[in-house]
Amino acid sequence: MSRTAEALNANIDAGRPNLIGYFPLGFPTVDESVEAAIAMCRAGVDVLELGIPYSDPVMDGIVIQEATQTALENGFKLSQTFDALTRITEAVDTPVLVMTYWNPVMQFGIENFAKKVQAAGGAGLITPDLIPDEASEWLKVSDELNLDRVFLATPSSSAERVKNACKLSRGFTYAVSTMGITGARAELDVLARGVVAEIRNSRPQLAAVGIGISSADQVREVNEYADAAIVGSVFVKAYLDGGTTALEAKVRELKPDQENS
């Protein structure tokens, strides 16, 4: 059973919206990011996406790029991921997915990385630059360790590629709302609905929409046609503006109908 899907389905069955929240590990320091991640979970995110800083974050917008660069400048090392993950998962029950570009995992060793994520209580990985066609070793290891694996479907993905991403994802499929990089936008691209429709047509699979979501109205709108909304840049901005207190307030603001959940 996918821990991530179980958490999302519990809300869906109860008629509650799902909010997946991203925060970069190591920003501004490892200890502060752990504190922020725990605060987000306690404030109401249903799944936590813990981002691994990377020197070439091709999918990330300027807010997240600058945050991850700060983490790297402050000395973040990939090996710190697992202790930080343990501290988070021991403090909260929220499923935690590690969001990482694939090169660091390959350099570390795919099986070794996966085993350490599992031992630290992580639910699995989101791998934005890894396509299922090139993921044979990760598919094998994640099956053996029962880790969730989230692949992306984009507006430019062929029907066959979307079908494959849905077939091989576990937890949910990440529906990219636009062809751009992450960051808040005043209006979500209508292409998001098209990507979710493709996922629905491919096979039964949860679909979470990310990139560009910045308001409670958008989170609510996304949950009307998809299974979860993914928010990142706005949370990083909130932390920059007011630390953990502002971050918690932003989570509560963006979690629709939380008072009824």
**What positions carry a catalytic annotation?**
49, 60
Residue 21: CB partners within 8 Å, gap ≥ 6?
A: 40, 45, 47, 48, 49, 230, 231, 232, 235, 251
**Tokens 């005043």, located at residue:** 186
Beta-bridge partners for 99:
51, 126
For the four alpha carbons of 43, 45, 51 and 56, in that order, the dihedral sign comes to negative
> How far is it, in rounded angstroms, from Cα 97 to Cα 142?
13
Whether the ω angle into residue 128 lies within 30 degrees of 0, i.e. cis, is no
C-alpha 151: how far from chain center:
11
Residue 114 host element (H or E): helix 110-119
C-alpha 8: how far from chain center:
13
Rg over CA atoms, the chain: 17
Beta-bridge partners for 96:
48
> How far is it, in rounded angstroms, from Cα 123 to Cα 26?
19
